[in-house]
Amino acid sequence: MTTSNPVTARPPVGLPPMPGEREALAAHPPVELERSRLQGEDLVFDRAGGFDRALAQGFFLLRFPAGLDTEPGDRFAAHFHQDRAGDALDRYRGYRTVDVPGTYQGYFDREHDQWENFYIERANWALLPAEVATLGHRMADLGVAVLLAVLRHLDVPPRLWGEVTGGLSEHHGHRMLAFNHFRSNKATRGCKFHRDSGWVTVLRSVEPGLLALVEGELGAINPVPEHFIVNFGSSLEVLTAALPTPVRANIHGVVATERTAGRPDRTSYVTFLDSDLDGTIHRLENGTARPVQSVADFAAQEVDRTYDDDAAL
């Protein structure tokens, strides 16, 4: 059992019941997310003050760069959990039984959730169809560009970037693709309300169902065509907690998917950006980076709370 670190664990939050999608649609209006695009190294928001509002909300929308093709990832998310059937789509099937070396990787059947996942870190992306791996690299590069833009916006000294990000600023670190299938025939929540544990998450989703606690109220985080949904992780929240403009790692989860016969289940996929497990979590205080916990202990602490069946986080 991992012992929680008082600096990184944050006070417990009581979680509301996770609604089904029809109830959520009626009860929880969409959050007005800030829209942005990458222009060279700059993260440019459509509205004045959008950057700071995105940091406070924990979510924003990022326009696809020119030439990015999400179809391979969409196809893989739709089929990774299926058995092979002897046709052209078999390149995207059969991943429940693929042996992926490394910690927190491979196929997961979540006991308390409709979620089933396939997690794979970039060192193993050769196991994926080449076009899916290519998309993963592009999504990861977008996430790193967002992270660096945030550090610049908050005036974090560049000399500290490599140390505090576990090498992500130098294109090292941990880059994980995660593919999600929500089984509508499983009578439980979609997934528990949780925070992501890393730095930046780049999400591809095509339908409503994601809810988040924004300023104490549950709101829908809905996709917009030609945009990724980006959210900030707990590593960034811990790092910036003592700064004048802290970054929020928002609590979010997915509604119980409800389907009529013949309608495909909800799917999605993300790129998680994190530090390597042998790294260190830091907090910025008075211009210095203070080590507060090992990444391995922090990850175990966050994972324990993400997949359990407690009504608190």
Q: What is the pLDDT of residues 70-94, one digit of tens each?
A: 999 999 999 999 999 999 999 999 9
pLDDT > 90? residue 143 = yes
Please identify which residue in the block is written with the tokens 């790692």. Answer: 249
The 10s digit of each residue's pLDDT in 248-295 is 999 999 999 999 878 899 999 999 999 988 899 999 999 899 999 999
Residue pair 195/250 in contact by the 8 Å Cβ criterion: yes
User: Where residue 246 falls among pLDDT bands split at 50, 70, 90?
Assistant: very high
Band of pLDDT at residue 3, cut at 50, 70 and 90: low
What are the CA-CA distances from residue 87 to residues 21, 93, 133, 172 (Å)? Answer: 33, 10, 21, 37
CA distance to 25, 31, 58, 307, per residue, from 312 (Å): 23, 23, 20, 11
| Phi, then psi, of 195 in degrees rounded to 5 | -105, 145
Spatial neighbors of 74 by CB under 8 A, at least 6 apart, are 204, 206, 267
Please check the confidence at residue 212 and state whether its pLDDT lies above 60. yes
pLDDT score for 115: 94
pTM of the model: 0.95
DSSP states along 27-53: H-PBP---EEEEETTEEEESSTTHHHH
Confidence of residue 2 (pLDDT cuts 50, 70, 90): low
- pLDDT for residue 87: 97
Q: What is the per-residue pLDDT for 313?
A: 79
Contact yes or no for 212/31 (Cβ under 8 A): yes
Phi, psi of 51 (to 5 degrees): -60, -50
- Could you list the beta-strand ranges (E) of 126-277: 174-182, 191-194, 200-204, 210-214, 217-220, 227-232, 252-254, 267-274
Q: Give pLDDT, residue 217.
A: 86
pLDDT of residue 227: 98
Question: What residue ranges do the domains of the chain occupy?
Answer: 22-307
Instruction: Write down the pLDDT at residue 303.
Output: 79
> What whole-number percentage of the chain has pLDDT above 90?
81
At the fourth CATH level, which superfamily is domain 22-307?
B-lactam Antibiotic, Isopenicillin N Synthase; Chain (2.60.120.330)
Mean pLDDT, rounded, for 93-122: 95
> What three-state secondary structure class fits 239?
helix
Alpha carbon distances (Å) from 44 to 18, 37, 60, 170, 200: 34, 5, 12, 22, 17
What CA–CA distance (Å, rounded) separates 165 from 74? Answer: 29
Please report the pLDDT score of residue 56 as a whole number: 96
pLDDT digits (tens, 9 = 90+) for 147-205: 999 999 999 999 999 999 999 999 889 999 999 999 999 999 999 999 998 999 999 99
Mean pLDDT of the region 13-42: 92
Contact in structure between 271 and 201 (CB atoms under 8 Å): yes
